[in-house]
Amino acid sequence: MRKLRVFNFITLDGYFEGPNHDISWHRHGTEENEFAAQMLGLGSVLLFGRVTYELMASFWQTPFAIEQTPLIAQAMNSGEKIVFSRTLQRPQWSNTKLVKGDIGEEIRKMKLLPGKDMTLLGSGSVVSQFADQGLIDEYQIMIDPVLLGSGTPICKGIRHRQSLQLTLTRSFRSGSVLLCYQAC
């Protein structure tokens, strides 16, 4: 059975984005970029909500992204992607499938099919929906050493408590800390 993991950056006070979708507080260093390239090298199907998808598509296809982080850009641009959206008409990024229907039901079906594991990047409202439905198998959360005071919490509006088991920790020279949890 395929697994669904979430990979997200958050602030120490629990926000995955600041006001107006601001993520300028998150800065990758060489060590974090090497980790990201290693994770992308595992070949997961990348999942996005529309807002994150449009942000990622507008960045990773640029000459700047390709020049600055070629391994990550290559993996992002060539990898299999799924975007969940009721409003997007047609994906503009290569290798992208658009899912408009009941996203929880779609993930349930995909998890039963053979294939690559799936990794949801960013996409707070999708994370919340999947978490609330108990569909997430693993959470990989990188906490950045910054406090925002306001923004969007990573699991805004979930109604069901879910117990998690810590499986891995890793600290980076930047002060960021990766915490990995499996759903119990």
**In a 3-state reduction of DSSP, which class is residue 101?**
coil
Domain boundaries, the chain: 4-183
Q: Which ranges of the chain does DSSP label H, i.e. alpha helix?
A: 30-40, 50-60, 63-68, 70-78, 103-112, 124-132
CA-based nearest residue to 41, from 72, 69, 70, 65: 72
pLDDT digits (tens, 9 = 90+) for 8-20: 999 999 999 999 8
Whether the predicted pLDDT of 178 surpasses 80: yes
Q: How far apart are CA 72 and CA 60, in angstroms?
A: 8
Higher model confidence: residue 111 or residue 122?
111
- Tracing tokens 């569909």 back to the chain, one arrives at 135
CATH number listed for the domain at residues 4-183: 3.40.430.10
Higher model confidence: residue 27 or residue 140?
140
Query: What are the beta bridge partners of residue 96?
Result: 81
pLDDT digits (tens, 9 = 90+) for 113-136: 999 999 999 888 899 999 999 999
Q: How far apart are CA 33 and CA 35, in angstroms?
A: 5
Mean of pLDDT values over 92-108: 95
Residue 71: what pLDDT? 85
Confidence of residue 41 (pLDDT cuts 50, 70, 90): low
pTM: 0.91
- Sign, Cα dihedral of 53, 55, 58, 64: negative
